[in-house]
């Protein structure tokens, strides 16, 4: 699946800092969305910690289909510390495994999901988060890390240097596309409410635009389509002018941030996860990947079903100073992250 040497280098980078400090050794991790972009990279990082230095971490990979989890994790599925748990974010939790760290990464975070199933998108964020918070009410010393999004800030062109955790923008709540940022925002409030009312230890990670080799085949985001074209040796197709500006973050750096927040984040607090050295337009992102792959960038218009799921936000740049104060630092520039992504997946 991956070029192991290059991918393992990314895993080692993710585990540096909080991952190698020993603060999370011996913990029991429950990961929802364990086959997704971030969830699967996190699970691989925990496996890497166990295999390279005996971290003694128990991994509970939660997902709808056992065969999907088995296919994604291969031989790791049969290891004594790796467990599968059946899980549907829209349904009550059907297991009672005691855990120390819960990472809620289950959500269809791509345009076609927003246009075809906005209700399901909201259910995963709202119902799924509430069920997990209820699940943790009866467990002491357990922490929930909710993976939110920088999209909760919406649009605010008066903040050219980026959103901090106390800044606000606007989101049109009557657009079906707003199913994603509005449900993430409400789920954040659920975390804060459960922390205040019931003492549940919940922390929020507001992820910027995360990319990496663990992108799934179902992902319809522009960057996923760019990567598939590049790997096939075909020209990258842009379906807009690509002028929208984003904070990008390589998956290894995002997972390093997750481990930092599990070890040292403040209860009831939210943290931006973004790389100050990876701010670029979507066109610049595509052109960088095209240069790495030796292909060109061409332009075409999207079908209406796909276009309906696109965000209207023109500038999504985030200030991660609060997270950096905990000791986290990103290790990959945009080009380095794209080089690692491409090299990890490029057919030999």
Instruction: Write out pLDDT tens, residues 189-202.
Output: 999 999 999 999 99
pLDDT score of 148 more than 80 = yes
155 versus 23: which is more confidently predicted?
Answer: 23
CA dist., res. 171 & res. 177, Å (int): 10
Quote the pLDDT of residue 311: 59
Query: In this predicted model, what pLDDT tens digit does every residue of 98-134 receive, in sequence order?
Result: 999 999 999 876 677 777 889 988 988 999 999 999 9
More confident: 96 or 330: 330
Coil vs helix vs strand at 270: strand
Q: CB of 235 within 8 A of CB of 294?
A: no
pLDDT digits (tens, 9 = 90+) for 33-73: 999 999 999 999 999 999 999 999 999 999 989 999 999 99
The answer to pTM > 0.85 is yes
Name, in order, each residue with C-beta under 8 angstroms of 181's C-beta and a sequence gap of 6 or more: 149, 151, 152, 154, 171
Cα 129 from chain centroid?
15
Mind listing the pLDDT tens digit for each residue in 5-34?
999 999 999 999 898 899 999 999 999 999
Spell out the CATH class of 4-213+248-276+316-333: alpha beta
Please give the average per-residue pLDDT across 160-164, as a whole number: 85
Task: Flag whether pLDDT at 230 surpasses 80.
Answer: yes
DSSP label of 321: H
Nearest CA to 31 out of 21, 22, 45, 42 is that of 42
Q: Which two tokens stand for residue 241?
A: 């002018």
Question: Measuring CA to CA, which residue among 43, 37, 39 is closest to residue 15?
Answer: 43
Confidence of residue 305 (pLDDT cuts 50, 70, 90): low
CA distance 225 to 306: 12
For residues 134-145, give the mean pLDDT.
92
Domain ranges of the chain: 4-213+248-276+316-333
Beta strands 143-149 and 82-86, pairing class: unpaired
Cβ contact 93:136 at 8 Å: no
């Amino acid at each position: 699946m991956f070029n192991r040497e290059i991918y393992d280098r990314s895993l080692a980078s993710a585990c540096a800092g909080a991952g190698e400090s020993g603060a999370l050794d011996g913990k029991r991790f429950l990961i929802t969305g364990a086959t997704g972009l971030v969830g699967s990279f996190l699970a691989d990082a925990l496996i890497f910690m166990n295999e390279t230095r005996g971290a003694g971490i128990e991994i509970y990979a939660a997902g709808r289909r056992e065969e999907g989890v088995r296919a994604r994790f291969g031989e790791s599925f049969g290891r004594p510390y790796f467990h599968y748990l059946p899980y549907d974010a829209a349904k009550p939790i059907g297991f009672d495994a005691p855990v120390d760290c819960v990472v809620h990464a289950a959500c269809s975070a791509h345009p076609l999901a927003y246009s075809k199933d906005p209700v399901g998108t909201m259910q995963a964020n709202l119902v799924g988060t509430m069920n997990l918070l209820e699940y943790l009410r009866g467990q002491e010393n357990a922490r929930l890390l909710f993976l939110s999004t920088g999209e909760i800030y919406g649009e605010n062109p008066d903040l050219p240097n980026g959103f901090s955790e106390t800044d606000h923008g606007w989101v049109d709540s009557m657009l079906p596309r707003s199913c994603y940022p509005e449900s993430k925002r409400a789920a954040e409030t659920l975390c804060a409410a459960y922390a205040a009312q019931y003492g549940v230890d919940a922390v929020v990670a507001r992820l910027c635009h995360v990319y990496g080799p663990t992108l799934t085949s179902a992902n319809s985001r522009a960057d996923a389509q760019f990567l598939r074209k590049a790997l096939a040796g075909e020209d990258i197709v842009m379906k807009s002018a690509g002028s929208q500006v984003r904070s990008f973050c390589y998956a290894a750096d995002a997972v390093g941030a997750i481990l930092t927040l599990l070890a040292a984040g403040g209860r009831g607090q939210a943290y931006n996860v973004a790389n100050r050295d990876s701010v670029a337009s979507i066109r610049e992102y595509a052109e960088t990947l095209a240069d790495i792959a030796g292909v060109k960038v061409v332009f075409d218009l999207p079908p209406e079903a796909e276009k309906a799921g696109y965000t209207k936000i023109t500038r999504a740049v985030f200030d991660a100073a609060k997270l950096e104060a905990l000791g986290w630092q990103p290790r990959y520039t945009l080009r380095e992250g794209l080089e690692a992504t491409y090299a990890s997946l490029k057919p030999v």
